[in-house]
Amino acid sequence: MKHVLPQANPLALLTFGFTAVVGSFLIGRPVAAAVVVAVYAVLALACVPSWRPLRWRLFAVGFAAVSLWWSSWLLGGHDVSIATTAAGRILVLALPGAIVAAFIDPMRFGDALAQNLRLPARFVGAFTASLTRFDRLGETFDQLQRTRRIRGFGPSRNPISRAATTAPLTFGLLVTAMRGATQLSLAMDSRGFATAQRRSWAQPSPWRRGDTLIVAAAVLVTIVLPVALR
């Protein structure tokens, strides 16, 4: 089952994230949250091919859950049940999206929006181009860091020095992103993107039986199961 996430239709994976939004409001007890999160863990262990792109995503979700548990416990009369339920809702809400988003390719997502949902081609093209640019922001940030270090402006091991370099790096990243967006828009206009009537897409985006099963699993796990455990 390790091939399911990389080969699934991006819209089917996205459904898992959207149904989790509804399911999080249906969590009323710590037991229900624990059962749903346990089912998430079983599905992830069976379907995730590589955990490397998920490390920081899972850390962020875990940090949000722990901080919410602490604040709910501190401000909610030290009630463990209320705090655990609130933290469980965050896990039920955020875990599916954090996992499936790592396996959604922007190009395949654009193909699915145009061919499966029949969205306007101009909107899909612009949206896909922006997603591909956003996906490269991390790589651009690393390049800016290496460039400043080579020029002798790199931070020391002092945390204050590292924090002080964040502002110029962010400004450089903003300038690079705006310059890249300008170049991309000029390239798209030069190829007739704004006036084209008939368009072709990079790859076909079929909706297979496995995609329907993913949507059914999403509804069962994120909505039906919390309702049954209420």
Instruction: Give the mean pLDDT of 205-225.
Output: 91
Residues 134-162 pLDDT 10s? 777 778 888 888 887 787 777 777 777 77
- Percentage of residues in the chain having pLDDT higher than 90: 22
Q: Where are the beta strands (DSSP E) in 101-187?
A: none
Lowest mean pLDDT among 65-79, 84-98, 162-176: 162-176
pLDDT at 111 over 80: yes
- Whole-angstrom CA distances from 153 to 39, 51, 164, 177 are 48, 34, 11, 21
Q: Which residue has the higher pLDDT, 158 or 212?
A: 212
Tokens 């792109």 correspond to 53
Q: What is the pTM of this model?
A: 0.76
Contact between 58 and 98 (Cβ < 8 Å): yes
pLDDT at 210 over 80: yes
Structure token digits, residue 201: 């897409």
pLDDT at 35: 93
According to DSSP, residue 196 is labeled -
What mean pLDDT, rounded, does the chain reach?
85
Instruction: Give the mean pLDDT of 107-115.
Output: 87
Show Cβ contacts of residue 69 under 8 Å, excluding neighbours closer than 6 positions.
83, 84, 86, 87
Residues 14-68 pLDDT 10s? 898 889 999 888 988 889 999 999 999 999 998 888 888 888 889 999 999 999 9
